[in-house]
Structure 1
Amino acid sequence: MAVVAEVSPDGAKLTISIKGRFDFGRHQEFRESYEGLAKKPSSIVVDLKEATYLDSSALGMLLLLRDHAGGDHSDVRVINSNSDVRKILAISNFDKLFDIG
C-alpha cells in the first residue's frame, strides 16, 4: 500500500505516510485515508519521507485535505520532504498554507 494512515490512540492526530509516487494514481487511496474516519482529528501530518515524486495532482490532493480539515483554521503539516519536493512546495507557495518541515 502506498498510502498508510495511522490515527493516534486518542484520535486527535492523523498521520498519513506516502510511499513512492504521490500522483493521481494515489488519489482514491489518499482521500480514503482521512474521509472515512469516525472522529475528525484536530491535527494531520502528511509524512513524505518515503515519497519519491510529487506532481500537480498531489498538490491538489493536499489542498483538498486542508479544506476537509477546516481550511485556514486547520492544523495540517507536511514533514520529511526531500529537497526536490520542498522546492516544488515552495514554488507553489504551499509554505504559506502548510507548516512544512
Structure 2
Amino acid sequence: MAITSQPSSDGQELTIVIQGRFDFAAYQEFRNAYERVSSSPQRYVVDLKGTTYLDSSALGMLLLLRDHAGGDSAQISLLNCNPDVRKILAISNFEQLFKIT
C-alpha cells in the first residue's frame, strides 16, 4: 500500500493517490496525505485506480476527509474506481456524499 498526495500548481486542488489495499493499516498515512499540506485546497481528488481492496474503515477515512474538507460543502471526487470498489461505494450510498467517476 502506498498513499501519495500532490497539490495542484495553484494550491486549489489536492490529489490523493491510493495504491493497493485501502484499509485500517492506511489510516495514518491517509490522514497525513491531506493534513500535512501547506496549502488549503478547495477541491480534493482521491484517485483509486490502483486500489485493490476497500473496507469499512476506508469508508470511515473518506468520511473523515469529507469533514476535514468542509462537510456538506466539500468538493471531493473519487476517480478511477474498479467495479468491486464502485460496488462497495454504491452499497454504502457514497454517491450521495462524493462525486464518483
TM-score range, shorter chain: over 0.9
Unaligned runs of 5+ in 2: none
SS in 2 for 1:37: coil
Deviation at 1:28, TM superposition (A): 0.2
Task: Report what 1:97 is aligned to.
Answer: 97
Alpha-carbon displacement from aligned partner over 1:53-88 (angstroms, at most 9, x marks no partner): 000000000000000000110100100000110000
CA distance in 2, matches of 1:51, 1:79: 11
Task: Report what 2:13 is aligned to.
Answer: 13
Extract structure 1 runs of 4+ deviating beyond 4 A: none
Task: Report what 1:50 is aligned to.
Answer: 50
Identity %, equivalent residues: 62
CA distance in 2, matches of 1:10, 1:58: 28
Of the structure 1 ranges 10-19 and 30-39, higher mean CA displacement relative to structure 2 is found in 30-39
Deviation at 1:38, TM superposition (A): 2.0
Taking only aligned residues, the RMSD between alpha carbons, in angstroms, comes to 0.8
SS in 2 for 1:30: helix
Alpha-carbon displacement from aligned partner over 1:18-72 (angstroms, at most 9, x marks no partner): 0000000000000000011222100000000000000000000000000000011
Query: Which amino acid in the other structure matches residue 59 of structure 1?
Result: L
The count of residues paired between Structure 1 and Structure 2 equals 101
